[in-house]
Chains A and B, each alone.
Chain A
């Protein structure tokens, strides 16, 4: 059909399109839904070796207001239990061994509440959100605004957004007035941090079946960025002499078997940790164990490309994402993700996917430090190590009566030092773990 793009025809075509129900599918981009929607999600996260498990429940509601506005509320409760790695000891051959925070297993609950609002204009979309998050040892207030502008009959969209989170963090194991009072970090002296994100992006329709999106995000974080629970182990003091444990000349060993650390003889640090109280800071320092200490600023530039293509013959779509993070802590990363979304008979959509992530270790990361770095910046947090991770995912979606949408998904994530793209990154397979995330989402519109 030879449709020329002359004005008279365009007038007719858009007038015809404006008739109700002309498009077979609910949402064209940027069209406000006319029904109230309730969303519920339950997520079940569990790590290998009983390290950590999390159960998360979310409930949200989206309500259309007048012709162009929308308001949303979302609440989340996340309950975490298990153990989380704290620091490393070096064994005889200098290979690091991880110590889980034994005895004091983590039980934490995070509650988040958020309000959002949006305005759907004929060629733009403005949205904003504000919320807060509370935990035993963490509190955050956050907000964001986003502006989206359409061009070329919605073939092109430009997006700009800003969001900010102001957080307070403290260590819950140091109750006020206890003997373990840490002058560096205590309840009275709550530390704060601030994260600011700026996003710009463009979304472009390539043809009737394909779209591509590019976004650039700047993430700037400042303040207290260290982890109040994590420690590092430094073998030698400033004079080059090894730290001693209760008079012993050499560090002793400690093996973490599953989630329960196995004490070895003379492993006094383990003994102390296992009794369920923290060793006093002064004592810790005397044996070479120091608090996680990171820079006061962190800057990331994240570049993301997303491509989607519909395939007529199989009634399916291919999604491909590539994300690159440039990081001033040195932990730059690349992420590749592919998903294949397939319609199958019975109104079901099945989406298998695969994700590969690789990061370099942070410049100040090491599993064990021979001596204290001169700038007093050091961390042994396994999340700042060099590693790679592959995820295998599968999701199944079905909508009933155009009103009730169900989605069940499963992800198996395998974090492995050997999968790191950059094989000279610092890290160790001691930190390897896998996790499984099962998530059930229910959406009801009326």
Chain B
């Protein structure tokens, strides 16, 4: 079958990041249908789980969380919570979607170390073990809690958008949600996509390069959103155990069959700080990581380009 494929590129903003759908299709109609359907799904997920849309699904969840009551939920949300539970267990409790309240202590725009008392108080309000789930509803066993789906939904959206494109017949292309991507297929001639990961301290350089034909890639680091205190750079990821931002890895990228998995693997590696790379080695997925001291590890490391 000799079909000629044209590349369609649609860029848009979603979930706080610049996103793009790069799809190869036999004609514009197929590309347009896939793009529309994928973007609709991304928008649906954003509307449902965004922290910033008053009155949305997450808003009601967090109202119940704040009151310490129970609320009926749908099967999609329960599945996402099941996934969050797996991440919690596999990270020894570091990946905890209730730890978002810690943001109240750390103002990433006006960096200063918060009062330890405030951190202690906030830590009273976190703990995945205080969220009870059953087949139709969830119950918050303590008041003042809050769920933050930010660590899962963006990557899930990338996977869903890719699945929708595949259903619409797309076989070559990728979905890019601000660096968290799901690769549907290689270029039509079979060549994989080359994704270079920029050096966390030197934006002009790459420290790793991945060649991917199919699968997902997610990245995390301390160089995008961060807080610098006493000349020390802290990532935007907050550890539920210490109440502080994590400090250990400067950048990590993981490849996995699904973007949700790649994304949570990155987040957990960051949360484990200097022990993050050892955890990734145990997990067995391909990755590239650099710690704050410049030590690089992982199979996709390249010599400085």
Contacts and interface: CB of A to CB of B under 8 A. Distances in A.
B299 A2 contact: yes
B286 A2 contact: yes
Contact of B1 (A6, A17, A315): A315
Interface stretch (A8-16, A49-57, A101-109): A8-16
B96 to A, nearest CB: 16
Nearest to A6: B284
A384 B62 CA distance: 75
A1 interface: yes
Interface stretch (A19-27, A142-150, A296-304): A19-27
B293 interface: no
A16 B261 CA distance: 6
A9 B283 contact: yes
Q: Interface majority SS on A: helix, strand, loop or mixed?
A: loop
Nearest to B163: A24
Interface residues of B, number: 39
- B76, B83, B264 pick with most chain A CB within 10 angstroms: B83
Interface string B273-305: 000000000111110000000000001000000
Most chain B CB neighbours (cut-off 10 Å) among A19, A316, A347: A19
A208 to B, nearest CB: 10
B255 A9 contact: no
B269 to A, nearest CB: 13
A19 B167 contact: no
Interface string B79-101: 11011001100100000000000
Given A11-B90, A15-B82, A24-B163, A2 B260 contact: no
Contacts of B164: 24
A178 interface: no
A4 interface: yes
B257 A19 contact: no
Contact of B160 (A1, A9, A21, A315): A21
Interface in B205-254: 212, 215
Interface residues of A, number: 30
Contacts of A179: none
A3 B285 CA distance: 6
A11 to B, nearest CB: 6
B86 A15 contact: yes
A24 B79 contact: no
B33 to A, nearest CB: 10
B83 A19 contact: yes
Contacts of B86: 11-12, 15
B108 to A, nearest CB: 29
Nearest to A19: B79
Contact of B159 (A8, A19, A313, A314): A19
Interface string B1-35: 10100000000000000000000001100000000
B63 interface: no
B75 A314 contact: no
A122 B116 CA distance: 49
B48 interface: no
A18 interface: yes
Contacts of B162: 24
Contacts of B264: 12
Contacts of B282: 6, 8
B267 interface: no
A345 interface: yes
Contacts of B212: 1
A313 B190 CA distance: 9
Nearest to A12: B261
Contacts of A4: 284
B51 to A, nearest CB: 20
A13 B260 CA distance: 10
A24 B166 contact: yes
Nearest to B165: A24
Interface string B157-191: 00110111011010100000000000000000000
Interface in A349-376: none
Given A8-B282, A19-B79, A315-B171, A13 B163 contact: no
Contacts of B159: 16, 19, 22
A3 B90 CA distance: 17
A9 B284 contact: yes
A19 B260 contact: yes
A17 to B, nearest CB: 7
B156 interface: yes
Interface string A22-56: 11110000000000000000000000000000000
Given A2-B286, A8-B283, A345-B3, A17 B258 contact: yes
Nearest to A24: B166
A345 B79 contact: no
Contact of A314 (B1, B26, B167): B1
Top 10 A-B pairs, shortest CB-CB distance: A24-B166, A4-B284, A15-B86, A16-B258, A24-B163, A16-B261, A314-B1, A16-B260, A9-B284, A19-B79
13 contacts: A13-B256, A15-B86, A16-B257, A19-B79, A19-B80, A19-B258, A22-B160, A22-B163, A24-B167, A25-B166, A313-B1, A315-B1, A344-B1
Given A8-B282, A9-B285, A20-B79, 16 more contacts: A1-B212, A1-B255, A6-B282, A9-B284, A11-B86, A12-B261, A15-B83, A16-B257, A16-B258, A19-B80, A20-B76, A22-B159, A23-B163, A24-B163, A315-B1, A315-B171
